[in-house]
Structure 1
């Protein structure tokens, strides 16, 4: 046993196997801290998202702005900081490109290859727009115009934090995306994150002369995006959720499984 975090253990193994210089390591998170998290005893265990509003389960910056740390000695410049909109969806096209594989042509790939940014060949992300969902509802649009320092974010609806004045949905332990749990905005609620990363002061027609022009551009981008979204098979259908024994991991400690582990893998808990 070791007290080292798993990420450190992985890096240690890469060093031991002399694979560090040939391996891209990307450490990130799929969402911000779950601020409403409580134990069975009622103890608050929710983390902190710093200055950012909200957290896991909503699209305020606290829920979607997460750290991304990358390491590839000899390929990526040490200490490089990239200040550009990216997404975890970018992992797939980045890895595919590095592997020399072609991306599928029968669907829209929303991610973008990160390597031009990471190797300083480009200063701008290919994501001019990013679309933020709450479950399957399009919740917000992010726009970083070319040759502009502004980062616009428009909300079509926002969760109703409870109790009033809280920084999360503590009465339900997570924010829901529909009905009485949200407030819809017409026109959409607009922020300039470059000036207001805390999302405390919405932009208005009186404070921003281009207010309606900005919203119109973002609305058009959202409508174009929605037209590219295609239905996929139900991932929670009975066929998909039924237990499939032949896909079950087989390890030496699982005596009830009808499989045998290779002797050399028993100590490692490997699969047969």
Structure 2
């Protein structure tokens, strides 16, 4: 691999940083075409690293997406796609979360001597047994779920989802609430300061920093500190995006200052696409351009996210990977980069994508024969190569192409020539439709489909009684 890319021999134990934004869309940053947001740090990452233009998450919403990043598996594999209490997104005071028996990226790296930290939003269980400190993280500083899951929101819900038990939004240090409610305007700034402190503290040994920001987040008007509020050309959404860019620049500069840049891989991406405003020309709730669809669905704009990877001296500068890969690939790739051992007693869906990161762009090939788009427990689409097939469905709760109460037909899109999914070419390619339908049949047997359990799935974590995370009780 070194001969193909011309890179230096990589260090045996590189540092790893994953920056994970919340609800930020494909077209929300300058390296992916944003006309309104100023993101100089991300332009720098693209100029000095590699863009990934077909990098996908496994869900259009945050909990299942984050479960896949942590475990290298489809959320359906690890039981984090839906549950009878919360649906597909965990709410405060839920008895569900990521099963402590799952092996996370943090645990894989911890086993080979890494210091590990999550600074930001967890959203994989807010009960003590389900917190990050039980999943391989030495440090947790952040909020346990989304920034819109406040006590005020809970009061509006009342009895539904135990809303009357939702506490003020807690800021946690490890398993203890240290502030409630936290000032959401200060989250990006405080996360950045904590991340810099962690990097400085562990500069002499390998570290894994997972920085899942709360912004732009799930509120209609995202939050930002005084230095950024009201300064962008796109209202609160733009303010929060530009502060995220600032945060990234601070970390890159610190790595250079500490002479850690050539020993550190930085991955920058988002948990799913932007929710979008009702008017397609209104960018105040983000942009997924030129992709079709909004976040929270199985649309391409929900699953394909802007992704940058930066590692001076290792990743070729100013390059682009246009091959399908996903957040599930980070765990096996990090394990390969550190000579760690993956668990042998379970299925891992992700792949080692070191060739996609380091090799010349003309040689790049996706490791995926098939990639699946689920809406909770319903398989809605399959991708293979450039082709995405939406399956005909008689019923569904949400769909990016089909209208309610009307059976949906088979749709086939060429995602290379038609990223906006405007032209159904299924009638022109019956052999491709047959092949992708066969891949869908395999997924139904393995991961399940609505009303049909998969044969290779594992249960979520569960506690017998859930309590609010509050200052008084913790």
Per the TM superposition, whether the score is higher than 0.5 is yes
Shift of 1:97: 1.0
Please give the residue correspondences for 1:201-216 in structure 2 after superposition, counting only pairs within 5 Å.
201-205=423-427, 208=428, 211-216=429-434
Structure 1's 101 and 62: CA in aligned 2 closer, same or farther, altered over 3 A?
A: same
**Alignment match of 1:221 (pick from 411, 436, 439):** 439
Q: 1:35 maps to which residue?
A: 276
Residue 23 of structure 1: which of 232, 251, 264 is its match?
264
Shift in alpha-carbon separation, 1:201–1:76, aligned structure 2, 3 A? same
Say whether the 8 Å CA contact 2:370–2:383 is kept in structure 1.
yes
Name 1:147's counterpart in structure 2.
Answer: none
The alpha-carbon distance between structure 1 residues 44 and 196, as it changes in their structure 2 partners (threshold 3 A), is: closer
Q: CA deviation at 1:23?
A: 0.7
Q: 1:17 to 1:183 in 2, by over 3 A?
A: farther
Q: 1:233 to 1:119 in 2, by over 3 A?
A: same
Residue of structure 2 equivalent to 1:119: 358
Question: 1:31, 1:55 within 8 Å by CA — same for their partners in 2?
Answer: no
Q: Which residue of 2 aligns with 1:87?
A: 326
Whole-angstrom distance in 2 between the partners of 1:10 and 1:137: 39
Partners of 1:176 and 1:182 within 8 A in 2: no
Residues 14 and 257 of structure 1: is their aligned pair in 2 closer, same or farther, counting only changes over 3 Å?
farther
Match of 1:28, SS state, is: strand
Q: Residues of 2 paired with 1:66 and 1:182: CA distance?
A: 30
Gaps of 5+ in 2: 1-188, 190-226, 229-242, 448-455
2-structure distance, mates of 1:97, 1:13: 26
Secondary structure of 2:332 counterpart? helix
Structure-2 residue corresponding to 1:52: 291
Distance 1:92 1:79, change over 3 A: same
CA distance in 1, matches of 2:251, 2:404: 41
The count of residues paired between Structure 1 and Structure 2 equals 218
Q: Is the 8 A contact 1:51 1:198 kept in 2?
A: yes
CA displacement 1:199-251 (0-9 Å, x = unmatched): 1111142xx1xx2211111111122233333332234x444x72498xx9xxx
Structure 1, unpaired ranges of 5+: 38-42, 145-150, 161-174, 249-253, 259-272
Q: Distance in 1 between matches of 2:473 and 2:466?
A: 17
Q: SS where residue 81 of structure 1 aligns? A: strand
Residue correspondence of structure 1 range 102-141 to structure 2 within 5 A: 102-120=341-359, 122-141=363-382
Please state how far the C-alpha of 1:17 moved relative to its aligned partner.
2.4
Note the C-alpha offset of 1:111: 1.0
Offset at residue 89 of structure 1 (A): 1.0
Distance, in Å, in 1 between the alignment partners of 2:353 and 2:336 is 10
Superposed, 1:134-213 pairs within 5 Å as 134-144=375-385, 151-156=386-391, 176=398, 181=404, 183-186=406-409, 188-205=410-427, 208=428, 211-213=429-431
- Contact kept? 2:316, 2:358, Cα under 8 Å: yes
Name segments (4+ residues, structure 1) moved above 6 Å: none
Report the Cα distance in structure 2 between the residues aligned to 1:197 and 1:74, rounded to whole angstroms: 32
Structure of greater relative contact order (alpha carbons < 8 Å, 6+ residues apart): 2
- Under a length normalisation based on structure 2, what TM-score does the superposition of the two structures give? 0.41
* Contact 1:53/1:61, CA 8 A, preserved across alignment: yes
Q: Look up the SS of the partner of 1:24 in the other structure.
A: strand
Change (3 A) 1:44 1:86: closer
For 1:11, the equivalent position in structure 2 comes to: 252
